[in-house]
Amino acid sequence: MRFFRRRRLVVAIVGAGIALILLAVIGLVGLIRGPAKASLPERPAPTASAVVVVPTDQPQPVLETSSPELFARSVAHALFDWDTRQDAGLADWAQVLVDVADTKEAAALAADVRDYLPSADMWQRLAGYGTRQWLDVESVTVPAAWATAVEQAATGQIPPGTAALTVVGTRHRAGTWDTDVERTERQVSFTVFVVCPGQESCTLLRLSKLDHPLD
């Protein structure tokens, strides 16, 4: 009788020990994986015209072209496509835009570009999360108000070949918080003022305030 009681006691102790081990393992896995996340609703696959273009790892020169639309698209990507994970600094991403500035407007354009890029302090904070940004351009159009401006301008007030193009697109940002990749997106709009004299490559005059395009 004592033998059977002792055997039942040993079995109970072993069973309790196994249960404790299982609980410890389950708890450890929970700490590693973190709390369960709510499932996100499925999003439709992007169409061919809305494919996300991830920025390259280094600042790319603005396209040399005599086409105002192609030039404006390239300027838009130079403004919004950047990556804090790379060796290039904030000034490097801005320089590619200053390089194509119209000589007379270079100083003013540099100020415009600074308004679009993060400040130096914000860049450092974003770099801490490995943040990258890119733009999906949805449309590039000549604003109706530009034709009126050209008609009403005095002779010589607007240089030959000057054009205004309003860009509409979606700005994407992605970064890592702890081990999770976080993404944000929002629509943006702005107007690019360019000079494309004949067959020569375009130059960049000015930029409107972000989200305050020419109508």
Question: Taking a C-beta distance cutoff of 8 angstroms, is the pair 99, 62 a contact?
Answer: yes
Question: Taking a C-beta distance cutoff of 8 angstroms, is the pair 160, 128 a contact?
Answer: no
CA dist 119 and 17 (Å) reads: 58
pLDDT of the residue at 169: 98
Residue 212 lies in a domain: no
Domain containing 179 equals 51-207
Q: Which residues of 20-37 are buried (b: 16+ CB within 10 A; e: fewer)?
A: eeeeeeeeeeeeeeeeee
pLDDT of the residue at 56: 58
Q: What are the pLDDT digits (tens) for 59-91?
A: 999 999 999 999 999 999 999 999 999 899 999
Residue 12 lies in a domain: no
Residue 5 lies in a domain: no
Residue 111 lies in a domain: yes
Other Cβ atoms less than 10 A from the Cβ of 213: the count is 21
Residue 6 lies in a domain: no
* End-to-end C-alpha distance for the chain, whole angstroms: 96
Number of domains in the chain: 1
Residue 199 lies in a domain: yes
pLDDT < 50 regions, the chain: 1-7, 9-55
pLDDT of the residue at 95: 97
pLDDT of the residue at 156: 84
Query: For the chain, what is the mean pLDDT?
Result: 80
